[in-house]
Amino acid sequence: MFCDEALDAIEPIAAGELKPDGRIAAHLASCPNCAAALEDARRLERMLRSRPIPRTPPQFTSRTMAIVRRQRWRSEQFLDVGFNVVLIAVALVIVGGVWLFMSQTGLAAVSSDAVDLFGAGFATVARRVAPSVPLYAGATALLAMALGIWWWAERDASL
């Protein structure tokens, strides 16, 4: 047997996964180089088995969960924004389609009279409603503030 052949078996023998058969055992007994290599391999094996296991840092779970929640919240926000963008795009397409249809069929000319009529009506309504505008504005601001506080509280809770 040549040393190369024995050296190929050194690692499995050192790991205890291969029992040296007669030829290898005889070679190891007669070849000091291969015997030394086996001794080195056994020593390395012992060192590898006794390597300290790195300890997980404290708070690892809570830190990981915080990252996972943040990531989830971000992806939900992204989905919300995407949904809103799609909605706006669909609305624009519908409005554009209607406008195109009206201009192609001549309905736009008829509708301009209707727009004038609605405009005059709207101006009348606006004149009557104008005194109450500050009241409505205040109520709207209060509602917006309440919604803002609710959103802020929900966001903190989800984090």
The site for another protein (CB under 8 A) is made up of 10-12, 14-15, 17, 36-37, 40-41, 43-45, 47-49, 51, 53-54, 56-57, 60-61, 63-65, 67-69, 71-72
Q: Which is nearer to another protein, 80 or 116 (CB)?
A: 80
Q: How far is the CB of 27 from another protein (least distance, A)?
A: 18
Q: How far is the CB of 143 from another protein (least distance, A)?
A: 31
Please give the single-letter amino acid code of residue 144.
A
DSSP state of 28: H
CA angle 66, 72, 74 (to 5 degrees): 105
**Under 8 Å CB-to-CB from 31, ≥6 apart: which residues?**
3, 6
Q: Which is nearer to another protein, 21 or 113 (CB)?
A: 21
> Where are the alpha helices (H) located in 9-130, listed in sequence order?
10-14, 22-30, 32-49, 60-105, 107-129
Q: How far is the CB of 52 from another protein (least distance, A)?
A: 9
